[in-house]
Structure 1
């Protein structure tokens, strides 16, 4: 059993560190490439990377606390430990989920009305999403910490969270999850509707390209939905059931939720690197030669891809 725990924590540590380097890599690619900076949803991707970075850092801190500095009984220092552990994690989850929703809506709008979409000021729109995600993330992260100051119980992990906050998180997860799932499904609907209309006036070769593009969009969305449901939907469902019946699964469930968070962050990095434009930018960053013009590949990949990411909640 001791050997299993050692292997588990080593795996845990690697899964926590890996997304941080991946996020730094992709953020560097986005900043270096003017094409990516001017693309449709790169601004939103930056917000998502920031949210996931907060999650990984908070998880890394919790991981370190298990070995370095066990909880002290002094209320002041205990509140400080809880602040460093939970506040970035909660804020990161909220930011990631709101930006996930914005990415889904962005892709949906790009198919629903292309003319209006490409005339839109994407930086201005992204700033609205950043503001909403940031304010809601900070407000949500502050709730347990405020409860620590006005109450007698120090709320550090989910089993000690006040009931009202657990219900608030349940409502947040249900609303956001439903909106994200609907937006992703509408991406498929609008894609097929658009391709069905344009296909009537196209020759056979153009029609074949249209079918390939439609299949690519559908496949991408289904991959994202599978990851979203597996790493966010199912854990959220279990968590919401515990809230409804006012029970707690203890620290073991929280540990696996934390592992799911970092695994999902790693998965998001892989999904992003599957985009041809970001992959080409990463190769260029390391001095690898590109096959064919990078500009052409990046434009076609950006317009043909569905950029959708998600993050799971961490409750321990």
Structure 2
């Protein structure tokens, strides 16, 4: 998809790479942590220290941070397209993406290393048992609240700026143009509502459950690790759905799958007489 000129030309193309990287880390960490439930089951004596278990959780923590920063960057990118369209297309998108990558990478590494601080990392436990110190649980609660608020606010501003833009430009246009803009505005609003719905269901609600346990000091015991893995997988699935809501990505995926399907259905280009099948070549050129 990233080879597509249309996707590369959009400002969010470089930011999508960050989201893919975060989701890749989450998936790898989830597979590994799932395997650890069989390697280190509760029926046997624990052999890992809390510090070792935290190292195994680090890719999952880093992946969630990178994924959320990438989600925020894409939301801000969409907002800027309506806030200042001319300035947006003159902007150096790669340089802007580098800033977001730097923020996401530094914050992810720092957050993944934080649970080792002020923690009894030498204690022998099962890997699925709680490993986060109390202060880090509160830090993660604050992080989830701040990042969720910023993402939701950025997407709501997309609706605000799109309506403001249409109201200003619609004064000097005919009724037909205004109708087209009204339809486009409704489509933007529906898309934003869908994105926010997916985001709230896959990240907001799991974060809310986690925050309630922190505020009321509820001990989840061995279920804590399972809930964290389930929440991270939901987060990754939500990101995939959000990306598929982009028209350019849907178009490129349809083209990719149609090309793969057509290659499987193609017959040889040479007929039994040894001459090239000109009609088939014409069809190929037209479909390209």
TM-score class normalised by the smaller sequence: 0.7 to 0.9
Cα deviation code 1:50-92 (max 9, x no counterpart): 111111111111111222444863456x6434412x1011001
**Aligned equivalents of 2:236, 2:121: Cα separation in 1:** 34
**Aligned equivalents of 1:188, 1:101: Cα separation in 2:** 16
Gaps of 5+ in 1: 1-28, 296-316
Using the TM superposition, give the Cα deviation of residue 254 of structure 1 relative to its aligned residue in structure 2, in angstroms. 4.2
TM-score (norm 1): 0.74
**Aligned equivalents of 1:91, 1:157: Cα separation in 2:** 18
Runs of 4+ in 1 over 4 A off after TM superposition: 154-158
Q: Per the alignment, in what secondary structure is the counterpart of residue 67 of structure 1? A: helix
Residue 220 of structure 2 is aligned to residue 244 of structure 1: no
Gaps of 5+ in 2: 263-285
Residue 45 of structure 2 is aligned to residue 50 of structure 1: no
- Asked if 2 retains the 8 angstrom alpha-carbon contact of 1:33 and 1:281, the reply is yes
Task: Give the corresponding residue for 1:226.
Answer: 197
Q: Per the alignment, in what secondary structure is the counterpart of residue 135 of structure 2? A: helix
Using the TM superposition, give the Cα deviation of residue 219 of structure 1 relative to its aligned residue in structure 2, in angstroms. 0.7
Backbone CA RMSD of aligned residues: 2.6
Residue 196 of structure 2 is aligned to residue 199 of structure 1: no
Q: Which one has the largest radius of gyration? A: 2
Q: How many residues align?
A: 260
Could you say if the C-alpha distance between residues 202 and 154 of structure 1 is closer, same or farther in structure 2, counting changes exceeding 3 Å? farther
Residue 188 (structure 1) aligned to one of 159, 164, 170: 159
**Aligned equivalents of 2:51, 2:133: Cα separation in 1:** 15
- Asked if 1 retains the 8 angstrom alpha-carbon contact of 2:62 and 2:109, the reply is yes
- Asked if 2 retains the 8 angstrom alpha-carbon contact of 1:280 and 1:294, the reply is no
Could you say if the C-alpha distance between residues 273 and 234 of structure 1 is closer, same or farther in structure 2, counting changes exceeding 3 Å? closer
Using the TM superposition, give the Cα deviation of residue 215 of structure 1 relative to its aligned residue in structure 2, in angstroms. 1.0
Residue 46 of structure 2 is aligned to residue 73 of structure 1: yes
Residue 164 (structure 1) aligned to one of 132, 135, 141: 135
Using the TM superposition, give the Cα deviation of residue 99 of structure 1 relative to its aligned residue in structure 2, in angstroms. 1.3
**Aligned equivalents of 1:80, 1:252: Cα separation in 2:** 19
